[in-house]
Amino acid sequence: MNFTQSILIVEDHDFQRRVLARMLSALGARSVLDAANGRAAVALLEDGARPGLVICDLDMPEMDGMAFIRHLGKLLPDVPVIIASALDPALLGSVAKMADAYGVRLIGVLEKPVTRVHLAQLLAASDSSPRRARAAPPVPGFTLAEIEAGIANHEFIPFFQPKVDMKSGAVVGAEALARWKHPTHGIVAPYAFILTLEKANRIDALTFLMLEQAAHATRRLREAGLEVTMSVNLSTTSLADVTLADRVTGIVTGCGTDPKHMVQEITETAAMTALAPALENLSRLRMKGFGLSIDDYGTGFASLAQLARVPYTELKIDQGFITGCGEHPTAQVIVEASLALAHGLKLKAVAEGIETQADWDALKAMGCDLAQGYFIARPMDEAAFLAFCRTYAGGWCVS
């Protein structure tokens, strides 16, 4: 082992701190700093200590590991952390999520008593693992007026991400995801404009622009021999207007596409304030033949109450439970329960956020119907999607 950076141990137990320091030196650590609790460790960092790695206990007097990770996120967010703890896995899982939310990169958990083999493995991982991309890259701060001007100029286009049947491996559909082809910023992702439009109650123009392009693409793709069903995203804020379903149907049929070849994905991000008009719209969309999908199931307001009152045809399990679910027993239980619920209600279950072969294998073994995620393909423009479908031919994921 040859790592050149110094390591900071944050551990209240004198004996364990000494054992860990000795193991690290034996494994080739250049220098080892130690602190008996979070407060002492923060003081070291504020005095200018710049460790390349932190190994941190959770249960400590004065300032515990959770509070220390919060401080670390502010002081040195790029320094990787290993948690050394004997606490139960569910608690460690929630600490891992917390670290992520504070922007701290957690490399792993070292179970106590610490063994040299496990320590060496984690150190090797810390040497080689690149800094993971943050969930949300910096958002250019667009004003509502700028976004609306972009919509008026038709600068927004759909990118298509394939949805694959997990049994046959065939591409059976796509989700149309909005992208802003910005004249100076290039391709801009939805988080930079959706929320602004929703908050101002001005999302409809984008919804219709996307719907029209997605419906045209569906017709073209089907004419090219691809039997795809196209999913689009519908904001709940749009559902308050009782004319929505008819306008949506008019646009889709006007493009020469049958509503039964389209799915409306709905995420309930806020309590539906106008419940009656929302239910009127959703019932009418279903009656016209659209599929209805409950998006991001398991988060926010995407709840059992919604399932009971809306005629959904599909349940999309939130990617937060899917990515890495094979290694997270809690996520796996939640996914299994969601799949049972979906199948009990005769809905298609979609796993969104399949990033690895392990995710694919785990979801397939659990009986999930459809898969979507970076493991299959990222969202792409229409020409690339068509080319993808042609070359994918049955799929490389089927196992």
Rounded Cα distance between 280 and 332, Å, is 35
Identify residues 222-241 at the interface with ligand C2E (CB under 6 A): 233, 235
Is position 192 an interface residue for ligand C2E (rule: CB under 6 A)?
no
Verify binding: residue 362, ligand C2E, rule CB under 6 A: no
Least distance in Å: CB of 69 to ligand C2E? Answer: 22
- Give the CB-side neighbour count of residue 321, counting CA atoms within 13 A: 21
Instruction: Tell whether residue 265 is a contact of ligand C2E (CB under 6 A).
Output: yes
Minimum separation from the CB atom of position 128 to ligand C2E (A): 21
Amino acid identity for residue 160 in this structure: F
Q: Are 238 and 207 in contact (CB under 8 A)?
A: yes
What whole-number distance in Å separates Cα of residue 163 and Cα of residue 244? 26
How many chain residues interact with ligand C2E (CB under 6 A)?
Answer: 25
Cis peptide before 113 (omega within 30 of 0): yes
373 touching ligand C2E, by CB under 6 A:
yes
Closer residue to Mg ion in complex, CB, 16/303: 303
Catalytic residue of the set 227, 352, 355, 382: 352
- Strands 32-35 and 370-372, sheet pairing: unpaired
Residue 359 binding result from ligand C2E, Mg ion, none, given CB thresholds of 5 to 8 Å by partner type: none
Match 């932190």 to its residue by tokens: 54
Do the bridges between strand 156-165 and strand 291-297 make them parallel or antiparallel, or are there none, so unpaired? unpaired
Report the DSSP beta bridge partners of residue 261: none
Both tokens of 92, joined, read 């460690």
Shortest gap between Cβ of 323 and ligand C2E (angstroms)? 6
Q: 177 contacts which partner out of ligand C2E, Mg ion, none, CB within 5 to 8 A by kind? A: ligand C2E
Q: In whole angstroms, how close is the CB of 70 to ligand C2E at the nearest point?
A: 24
CB of residue 124 to ligand C2E, shortest distance in Å: 26
| Residue 368 in contact with ligand C2E, rule: CB under 6 A | no
Distance CA 119, CA 1 (A): 11
Q: Out of ligand C2E, Mg ion, none, which partner does residue 338 contact, by CB within 5 to 8 A per kind? A: none
Tell me which residues in 316-355 interact with ligand C2E (CB under 6 A).
319, 323, 352-355
User: Which partner in Mg ion, ligand C2E, none is near 258 (CB below 5 to 8 A by kind)?
Assistant: none
Interacting partner of 213 out of Mg ion, ligand C2E, none (Cβ under 5 to 8 A depending on kind): none
Q: How far apart are CA 180 and CA 189, in angstroms?
A: 7
Tell me the one-letter amino acid at 270. A
Q: How far is the CB of 16 from ligand C2E (least distance, A)?
A: 37
Answer yes or no: are the C-beta atoms of 242 and 277 closer than 8 Å.
yes
Note the residues at the interface with Mg ion (CB under 5 A). Answer: 233, 265, 295-296, 352
* Exposure letters 178-209 (e unless 16+ CB within 10 A, then b): bbbebeeeeebbbebbbebbbeeeebbebbbb
Query: For ligand C2E, which stretch binds (CB under 6 A), given 49-57, 165-173, 203-211, 381-389?
Result: 203-211
Question: Does 352 qualify as catalytic in the annotation?
Answer: yes
Distance from C-alpha of 340 to C-alpha of 113, rounded to nearest angstrom: 39
The conformation of residue 235, written as its DSSP 8-state character, comes to E
Binding site for ligand C2E (CB under 6 A): 161, 177-178, 189-190, 194, 203, 207, 210, 233, 235, 265, 267, 295-296, 319, 323, 352-355, 372-374, 379
* Positions marked catalytic: 352
